[in-house]
């Protein structure tokens, strides 16, 4: 583990996967579960991973094929604190478990993320912002942002809890409330293909 990089990653695996028709994180892609591709990419880039799932049965399932000794960071499995409200709960749960100040959020269905992407996003951190949020189009940063491939400071936990209590559950609503630094997905430092999700069987 590189002690100089005190950063965390939260991988969200609590979705229903209705469009895919099966659990996405455990789907076999090129001879191994999809989430394992992401975990391999995280080696040397972060200190810990929080894998957030929506129930204990899925946690037990993932523990069977994720071997902690294969990775040079700490792995923690966490159960969604609040059920069936989407990724807002996963982010909240994950941020409550990290030991560093910042965490990169990744969905379990993004196997094209690279080490360079992770490094470049974390390099944008500064003391003035609570989040680093990639976006596609300068004409509408928020609308074209990638909030589930972003870095967040754990000091936003109270804001998330307030939004949930007000039944505001979309992540872009959170970004509007915090000090976010937007960075362009320019196909140089950040490549568009790295943000691709596998949502349907035809995407695989």
Cβ count within 10 A of residue 71: 18
Per-residue pLDDT reduced to its tens digit, 47-67: 999 999 999 999 999 999 999
| Residue 20: per-residue pLDDT | 42
The pLDDT tens digits for 140-185 are 999 999 999 999 999 999 999 999 999 999 999 999 999 999 999 9
| Domain chopping of the chain, boundaries | 8-197
Read off the pLDDT band of 23 (50, 70, 90). confident
> Is 76 within 8 Å of 51 (Cβ atoms)?
yes
Based on the number of CB atoms within 10 Å of its own CB, is 203 exposed (0-12), middle (13-18) or buried (19 or more)? exposed
Binding residues: 12-14, 24, 109
Relative to beta strand 48-53, strand 8-12 is parallel
pLDDT band for position 137 (cuts 50, 70, 90): very high
Binding-site residue set for Mg(2+): 109
Q: Is 195 helix (H, G, I), strand (E, B) or coil?
A: helix
More confident residue, 161 or 21: 161
Domain 8-197 has CATH 3.90.550.10: yes
Is 25 or 156 the better-scoring residue by pLDDT? Answer: 156
Portion of the chain with pLDDT greater than 70, in percent: 90
pLDDT tens digits, 64-85: 999 999 999 999 999 999 998 9
State the pLDDT confidence band at 202, using cuts at 50, 70 and 90. Answer: very low
Cβ atoms of 47 and 73 closer than 8 Å? yes
The dihedral built from the CA positions of residue 92, 93, 94 and 98, taken in this order, carries a sign that is positive
Q: How far apart are CA 53 and CA 163, in angstroms?
A: 21
Task: Give the tens place of pLDDT for each residue, 72-131.
Answer: 999 999 999 999 899 999 999 999 999 999 999 999 988 899 999 999 999 999 999 999
Cα gap 185→195, rounded to integer Å: 9
pTM of structure:
0.91
Known binding positions for GTP: 12-14, 24, 109
144 with 137: CB under 8 angstroms? yes
Q: Which of 31, 183, 14, 191 is nearest to 109 (CA)?
A: 14
């Amino acid at each position: 583990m590189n002690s100089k990089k005190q950063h965390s990653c939260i991988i969200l695996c609590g979705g229903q996967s209705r469009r895919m028709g099966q659990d996405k994180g455990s789907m076999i892609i090129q001879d191994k579960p999809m989430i394992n591709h992401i975990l391999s990419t995280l080696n040397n880039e972060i200190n810990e991973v929080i894998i957030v799932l929506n129930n204990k049965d899925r946690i037990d399932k993932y523990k069977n094929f994720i071997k902690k000794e294969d990775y040079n960071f700490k792995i923690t499995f966490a159960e969604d604190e609040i059920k069936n409200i989407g990724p807002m709960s996963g982010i909240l749960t994950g941020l409550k478990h990290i030991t560093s100040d910042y965490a990169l959020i990744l969905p379990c269905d993004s196997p094209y993320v690279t080490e360079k992407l992770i490094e470049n996003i974390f390099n944008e951190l500064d003391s003035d912002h609570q989040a680093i949020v990639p976006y596609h189009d300068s004409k509408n940063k928020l609308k074209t942002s990638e909030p589930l491939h972003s870095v967040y400071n754990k000091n936003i936990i109270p804001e998330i809890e307030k939004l949930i209590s007000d039944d505001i559950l979309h992540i872009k609503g959170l970004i509007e409330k915090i000090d976010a630094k937007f960075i362009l997905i320019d196909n140089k430092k950040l490549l568009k293909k790295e943000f691709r999700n596998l949502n349907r069987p035809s995407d695989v």
